[in-house]
Structure 1
Amino acid sequence: MDIVSVVRFFYYGLGRPEVYYVASFPVIVLTGIYLYRRESRRQEQNYLALLIEEVHNLEEGQLDRKVTVRSVGKLGQLAADINRMMERLRISLEEERRAEQTKNELITNVSHDLRTPLTTITGYLGLIDQDRYRDEVELRYYNNMAYEESLRLKQLLEDLFEYTRLRNREMTLNKSRINLVEMLHQITAQFQWQLGECGMESRLFFEQNQMIVMADGDKLRRVYENLISNAIRYGNEGRFLDIRGRVEGQEAVIDVINYGEPIPDSDIPRLFERFYRVEKSRDKNTGGSGIGLAIAKHIVDLHQGSIRVTSDEERTVFTVRISQNAPSMNH
């Protein structure tokens, strides 16, 4: 019997409209509740069957899909929870894939970087061991080449070790008052021989005699050494290496500028990634470890500063900003 039949029964059976209204009200309410619950159960059963099917699809590996969320009691909340869980799972799997890719890139790049100087060292030492040199001058040349490549190999290993320490947050900053003007004059003096070998000349321009920052001097020195070394390596087609310093607001700003070949726009966003190098450097076998700029960025980040690069046909500029009032921050 449906609700219409029930109403008709009370109306015609009792014969009095006022009695009909009073008597039929609770029946209508109860019947409505019954029908609502029956419809709700039907919707829940259909929705549950849909969820089971969609969860089976997820189980088969279709992790990019989501289950349907409907406002059907607690099943809707369950569906939303499933979607959040699957999103976390997708993120976790993506991070795992990136970590695996990073490990493979690490092995590939380190193998390449270490093999090149090792091949050169063993080659020259082999010539010496077999007495395949014309005179004392050629012998000394072979010996010097093997020695220089051994130094390069040592630097590659040190870069890798330092980068690993930075990534594992094992580095502690020991801050003190540092005059960047004095530091950069000292660092540039150390590169005079390399600059001369490349036919380059350094020029320093500072707006004042002192630019004081609270920083870890040894680690900050490594930043500017890496930038200057990078400028010499890739900017030796230009004559000058310029270093400009100024104060902007509460920041000490240092520009390291070279006038060599420009960096392609496609390479700029990735320059500070570990082991990333402009491909031409690898072709010429003159590239560094590919870690130097990544190390520089990590050290600047530890000092809560910033480092960026701009490059065009005229010049390439690496800009480092260090706050003069940065709070102490250890990692």
Structure 2
Amino acid sequence: MRANIAIRQAWRLVWQIVVSSVLALITFYLVLMLLWFMTRSSTYPRLFLQTLYNSVGQLPIIVLGCFVFFVFYMVLLNWRRFRYYDNLTRSVEHIAQGHFEALVPVRQNNEVTFLAENLNSLVEKLKRSLDEERLAEQTKNELITNVSHDLRTPLTSIIGYLGLIEQDRYRDEVELRYYVQIAYAKAERLKVLIHDLFEYTRMRHESQEVIKKPFNLVEMMNQLLAHHRLMLDGSKMKGELITDLTELRMMGEPDKLVRVFENLLANAVTYGYAGGKVDIYVNHYGGDAVVDFVNYGEAIPSSDLPLLFDRFYRVDKSRTENSGGSGLGLAIAKSIVERHGGSISATSDINATNFRVRLPIS
């Protein structure tokens, strides 16, 4: 395309030179005819022309006159381009003042067109970079705020109960053990928060490629249910694997994907205990493995569904420790799934809530 424009520009220049030369000769001829007509009826113009002719000569006058008119017509033919250059300059000055929503006008199909298009591309990338920087700054502030809140709450409780113990403000050993038990539970929660925060940060900034290993997804789901049988029984829930497949071989990082499925199972138990069961469906669609975690508890509001995988987001806005975990589990799960080239989504209605993980098999 650039070569075509260069050829077109060369032909346009040749055409302008030819047209300007022809128009200059015609105009100069007409001017000479006009002057000749004027000298027939006036003495002073005739004397001036005669003096100029005697001192300079006929050929230089013709060349000079034609050159003047040639320059005039070249400028006239390129006036539209000169005006476009002026618009480009004004647009660039306007953008340089910080108006990044403005664009450089792209009107002509010549060598300046690429300059205008590249300037627009540069402005769009700069605007996108500034937006990302502002978003990153906002995200960092939100992260600090949320982390401070989630870490301060259990830490305050730990300090408070340990302070009571240190001041001997307990009636008997039973109350002492009660205070110690609460402090220990709060410390465990603090450990989970710090671990999830570290894991999320590492997953977001990890640049190494996924080291894939072969594994059987159906076997992984069976082991998942077996390892979490006590958790299901403790919540008076049943877990069932529903699939027509005896095995589904695929490539990935099994230890990371287990983290995803453990999180989804724990999430189903925490928020779907009212339904009494969790169904895990494993299917094979095209080149993807699809795993569905379905619980039959309370429905998730439709307004919350798009935000479930944002960090620190909870459907329960109370943010008490009874409302769930750190708020990072689903965000971590999304990062792991996306690193494997897959996707994770959620749907919910009055009948069931379904978290679906789609992973490429190879």
Q: TM-score, normalised by structure 1?
A: 0.79
Query: Aligned-pair distance for 1:316?
Result: 0.8
Question: Which residue in 2 is equivalent to 1:92?
Answer: 129
Structure 1 residue corresponding to 2:189, chosen from 152, 164, 179: 152
For the structure 1 residues 239 and 107, does the alpha-carbon distance in structure 2 shift closer, same or farther, using more than 3 Å as the test?
Answer: same
- Pair 171,155 (structure 1): closer, same or farther in 2 beyond 3 Å: farther
Q: How does 1:246-265 map to 2 (within 5 A)?
A: 246-265=283-302
Deviation at 1:4, TM superposition (A): 5.9
What's the CA shift for 1:45?
A: 5.1
**Partner in structure 1 of residue 259 of structure 2:** 222
Partner of 1:67: 104
Pair 170,38 (structure 1): closer, same or farther in 2 beyond 3 Å:
closer
Change (3 A) 1:88 1:206: closer
Equivalenced residues, count: 313
Contact 1:165-1:171 within 8 A present in 2 as well: no
Q: Report percent identity of matched pairs.
A: 47
Q: Distance in 2 between matches of 1:186 and 1:255?
A: 16
Separation (CA, whole Å) in 2 of partners of 1:310 and 1:162: 26
Whole-angstrom distance in 2 between the partners of 1:217 and 1:74: 55
More helix, by proportion: 2
- The Cα of 1:258 is off from its aligned counterpart by 1.5
Residue of 225, 235, 250 corresponding to 1:213: 250
- Residues 94-103 or 54-63, more deviating: 54-63
Q: Which deviates more from structure 2 when the two are superposed, residues 288-297 or residues 33-42?
A: 33-42
Q: 1:301 to 1:128 in 2, by over 3 A?
A: same
> 1:290 and 2:327 equivalent?
yes
1:213 alignment partner, SS class: strand
Letter in 2 for 1:96: E
Cα distance in 2 for residues equivalent to 1:171 and 1:111: 29
Q: CA RMSD in A?
A: 3.4
Question: Considering only CA atoms, is the larger Rg found in Structure 1 or Structure 2?
Answer: 2
TM-score (ref. length: structure 2): 0.73
CA shift, 1:170, in A, is: 4.5
Counterpart of 2:104 in 1: which secondary structure?
Answer: coil
Distance 2:148 2:97 in 1: 38
Unaligned ranges ≥5, structure 2 = 1-23, 38-62
In the alignment, structure 1 segments of 5+ residues that lack a partner are 15-25, 327-331
Indicate the residue corresponding to 1:309 in structure 2. 346
Q: Deviations over 1:95-154 (max 9, x none)?
A: 211111121122112112211221222233233333444444443333222222222221
**2:275 alignment partner AA:** G
CA deviations over 1:73-95 (Å, ceiling 9, x no partner): 76555444433322222122112
Are the structure 2 counterparts of residues 264 and 53 from structure 1 closer, same or farther at C-alpha, using a change threshold of 3 Å? same
* Alpha-carbon separation, structure 2, partners of 1:292 and 1:232: 14
Q: How does 1:31-42 map to 2 (within 5 A)?
A: 33-40=70-77, 42=79
- Alpha carbons of structure 1 residues 139 and 189: separation in structure 2 relative to 1, 3 Å: farther
Q: Cα deviations across residues 242-279 of structure 1 (Å, max 9, x unaligned)? A: 22223334433321111222222222223223333324
Q: Is the 8 A contact 1:43 1:72 kept in 2?
A: no
Is the Cα contact below 8 Å between 1:281 and 1:287 reproduced in 2? no
Shift of 1:226: 0.9
1:311 deviates by 0.8
